[in-house]
Amino acid sequence: MRFMKGLFCVLLLGSIACAQDAQSTSQPAQNATSPSDAQSAKPAPSGPPVDEAKVTGGVFQSAYFKFSYQLPKDWKALDDKVRMATNKQLQDQETEAARPMPNRRRPATSAAASSNKPVVVPPQHPMENYSLLVASPAGVTSLDSPALPRVNIWAKRRIPPLDHIEDPAMFMTAMRYAKVIVKPQHVTFDGHDFVRADIETPTGDYRTQFVTIVGDYLIGFEFHSSSEKEGVPGADSMKTIKFQ
């Protein structure tokens, strides 16, 4: 699960960095959000889970986000039961990590002790991150597969007013020692706006990323390969995306 944990850490750091810059203005926007807005991305009891998806005849279909995508020829996807089980495990870990700590009282010698009020830890909320697909020509057995080339499709619940469509590309291209091949730029597929960026990682791998927004989520397509040439089929496959 190194890939997913690494991805979630990058997205979390991005959100934290943006939060620091927008601290003075974010509170009014958050206060203006109604409880119903905060839950709008949750699937209805009778609806599909966020990460429910399947690949049939080389075509990926997301039941929740309602789009399809044609994998490059002969690429094989990770078993959906394995993928969804790993998503649940990671979500449980995030929930546990975000669980508020018990209230603690300050030492009697502190100024606040005279009021006899406990120190309340601000509530935290786990991030909602999901793997929707991992696939490669030889197939994969886990979300952490290092197989090249491969594609990872992920979904991340946005945290208003942060998580703009450009943020993942900006953070990826700011990676230390990464060589930027394609600067962040807007492209369109099936009428939807995406932001693309390409880098050569410090280890020499090539990465192409496309990110869009669907509802309350960022949706990312990441293609990993050993060279720019090997990554071309993956990037070209983005033209097959169809939104319902």
Q: Is the pLDDT reported for residue 231 higher than 60?
A: yes
Q: How far is CA 196 from CA 68, 166, 188, 244, in A?
A: 19, 9, 10, 22
Q: How far apart are CA 188 and CA 238, in angstroms?
A: 10
Contacts of 37 (CB under 8 A, 6+ apart): none
Reading across the β-sheet that carries 150-157, which strands appear in turn?
76-77, 129-136, 150-157, 217-225, 206-214, 192-200, 179-189
Range of lowest pLDDT (62-71, 95-104, 133-142, 179-188): 95-104
* pLDDT for the residue 104: 58
Q: How far apart are CA 26 and CA 6, in angstroms?
A: 26
As a whole number, mean pLDDT of residues 90-104 equals: 79
* pLDDT for the residue 38: 39
Range of lowest pLDDT (4-18, 22-36, 66-80): 22-36
- Percentage of the chain lying above the pLDDT 90 cut: 64
* pLDDT for the residue 213: 98
Q: Which residues of the chain form beta strands (DSSP E)?
A: 53-56, 59-62, 67-70, 76-77, 129-136, 150-157, 179-189, 192-200, 206-214, 217-225, 242-243
CB contact at 8 A, 195 and 166: yes
| Structural domain boundaries in the chain | 2-17+50-97+120-166+216-243
Confidence bin at 102 (pLDDT 50/70/90): low
